[in-house]
Chains A and B, each alone.
Chain A
Amino acid sequence: MVERYLFRTALRDLLQPRRIAVAVLLIVGPSAVALIVRLALRARFDGVSTYGALASLLVFGFVLPILAVVFGTGVISQEMEQRTIVYLLTRPVARWRILLAKFAAAWLVICATTALATVLLAVVTHQPGKGSGQFRLYPAALMKPNDLCERLQVPQDPVSEYLRSRLTERTRQRLDMWDPSTPLRPRLIQGVVNDLNAVIEGDVHLYSADRFAGVRLPEDARQLLAEKPRGESRARLNRWLIEAAFPDLIPRSRTTMAQAPRDLLILPVGALAYGAICLLLATLFSRALIVGLFLAFGWESWVPMLPGNFKLVSVMTYIRALAPHARPETASVDVMSVFTALNPESVPALLSWFVLAAVSLGALVLAAGVFSFREYSPKDDAM
């Protein structure tokens, strides 16, 4: 009863008009940027890459941490600043219950805000018809079937060579008999597509570091690779690997609408982990907001990019491991990609779930413990 009342009161406090205005800015921000990019690039606009880049950079990289810091630390800091904490601490309610009820409200607001930002971004970057969402190939969907057959007829790179070796004898014969100056016969292209689908659905040897040395793998593919996937995940990985090797020939399977649900699942997990850490900071430091901002935009931004295993002490590493995003292909080399190249290894999903659960639970228990035993008396009326 008390918790429900505290939760409702905290929620009402968090949903004050001025706070809603800030939340709306954070919700609309990423999709506004996406809209500008879409209008500027017109036909060259790539919805999946733009969604991946903006979800990674703005939703996961900015909206989530800033909300976690502001609302997570605000659970106590605001009460301390307004000095209203004395009303709460002189009630016959266990302090940890007060803390967790208020935190639950803050967490819900963070989840709702990030979820709305994600959905809106997915809608703005969605391109109907682009991205099948399926792993199997279809002849009609191939972008340049002639070029693909040519690449498999006379392989010029290790990936093409491997794929040719996986074609059935009959398809290989048809391919060798085909004259590239003549139109493709439907039976040939169907045979190539069937054989490639067999690779996509069951081949566990497609990837090798040497074979894909010259191919730039997107972050989500690298992450999936680290998980040694099976079944459907293996099919997804193989399709992504082939897409990466033949970016102009094989259509994208990724869709914005397919990525958004996964992000919507991971964002609350990230909000819980970050929020719990910020709550703990608030129980320990009087200037928790500053410490939280340093943590979110200093430590969390730079530590994962340091060489070696430094990334393992960053919460964002584990969040990103569970929600990897395809970045846009770019010819230019920026500072981030140089640092990222130092850490090509991805973190396994199971480890990420475990670490995030342990961090969330540990931080919440510690925060509840500290809040129960520490004195919180606004300083200026201490005497």
Chain B
Amino acid sequence: MIALNRASRWYGQVIGVNDISCRIGPGLTALLGPNGAGKSTLMKMITGQLRPTTGHVLAFGERTFANARVLRRLGYCPEIETSYEDMTGRQFVSMLGVMAGVPTSALQKRTEEVLDTVRMSQWADRRIGGYSKGMRQRVKIAQAIIHDPELLVLDEPLNGLDPVGRREMTDLFVRLAGSGRCVIVSSHILYEVEQMTHSIILMDRGRLRAIGDVYQIRALIDAHPHRVAIQTERSRDLAKRLLDLSYVLSVRLSQDDPTQLEVETRMPDLFYDDLPRIVLRDGFLITGLDSPDNNLEAVFRYLVKG
């Protein structure tokens, strides 16, 4: 459905997307990368808002920029939080439905359907200006699917949603992808992506770093030494216990704070399973737990170095 051929996009001297070639077909594909990786730029090129500076971006075999034939088959949920604040949710979805080509005769029915799909029927007559972040996200998704597009591009669609909302929307995306549509979802949260799909495109600093199965990426991440910072009054005792674990590479006590210790492990999942058990068994009081590596930026740094 989508083909990128050596596509690059510059903003003056700054590069947004750097020489990306790939194909995206039906199913759910996650576009994964830290903030500033170029995900939104790539999505804007796919949705015809930006032209590639060099290379080509094609959807359904056609160039995308301001192409009505492509846009008729495409639904887009932008990352922006602002909207038509004075409109009600229903007016917003209807207006964009008409513009997307939904016939007048079917507009009301279709609007109600999508509002119901995103669980917003109850609040659809309120002004968007009074909506919470999660409600805004839901009507944004509703307007993207009102014309039943074959290609759905969703830029950080789970931002601002509560856990229940995340689950509902994730299920919706999986359902849409399961019916043969091409659904592209961007995110900077690995955990979130793992709930939805195995197919990911990994971006960093405008470049495509990896494309394929999320488990392969996971394996790379697991091989990456993972640091965990723990705060407890009996830091020396805990350090001794943790060093007994075979997969712990090192334990370092902080020079500045005697209650702080930093553990380095190659198997973070196993470590997180074992830590509560040790704490409960030996009665440690944990006052702080943090992992400086438990984010995508760290993973990308590792992958890029690798």
Contact = CB atoms under 8 A, between A and B. Distances in A.
Interface string A11-24: 00100100000000
B49 interface: yes
A90 B74 contact: yes
Interface string B33-75: 0001110110010011111000000000000001011011010
Contacts of B86: 13, 16
Contact of B99 (A5, A376, A383): A5
Interface stretch (B76-84, B172-180, B210-218): B76-84
A174 to B, nearest CB: 75
Given A13-B86, A372-B66, A381-B80, A90 B48 contact: yes
Given A90-B48, A377-B44, A9 B95 contact: yes
A94 B68 contact: yes
B101 interface: yes
Interface string A355-383: 00000000000000000110111100111
B7 to A, nearest CB: 15
Contacts of A376: 49
A2 interface: yes
B94 to A, nearest CB: 8
B98 interface: yes
B16 interface: yes
A172 to B, nearest CB: 74
A2 B98 CA distance: 6
Contacts of B41: 382-383
B83 A377 contact: no
Interface in B80-94: 80, 82-87, 91
A25 to B, nearest CB: 20
Nearest to B143: A87
B65 to A, nearest CB: 8
A82 B215 CA distance: 40
B191 interface: no
A378 B81 CA distance: 13
A231 interface: no
Nearest to A375: B50
Nearest to B80: A83
B272 interface: no
B71 A92 contact: yes
Contacts of B202: none
Q: Mostly helix, strand, loop or mixed at chain A's interface?
A: loop
Given A86-B80, A87-B143, A378-B80, A92 B95 contact: no
A283 to B, nearest CB: 14
A375 B11 CA distance: 12
B96 interface: yes
A1 interface: yes
B100 interface: yes
Contacts of B68: 92-94
B294 interface: no
A84 interface: yes
Contact of A90 (B16, B38, B49): B49
Contact of A382 (B11, B84, B87): B11
Most chain B CB neighbours (cut-off 10 Å) among A1, A13, A90:
A90
27 contacts: A1-B98, A2-B98, A2-B99, A16-B86, A82-B83, A83-B78, A84-B80, A86-B78, A87-B78, A87-B143, A89-B48, A90-B48, A90-B74, A90-B76, A91-B100, A92-B69, A92-B71, A92-B99, A92-B100, A92-B101, A95-B66, A375-B51, A376-B49, A377-B44, A381-B40, A381-B79, A383-B38
Interface of B: 11, 16, 36-38, 40-41, 44, 47-51, 66, 68-69, 71-72, 74, 76, 78-80, 82-87, 91, 95-96, 98-101, 104, 143
Q: Which 9 A-B pairs have the closest CB atoms?
A: A92-B72, A91-B99, A92-B71, A92-B68, A90-B76, A83-B80, A5-B98, A86-B78, A90-B47
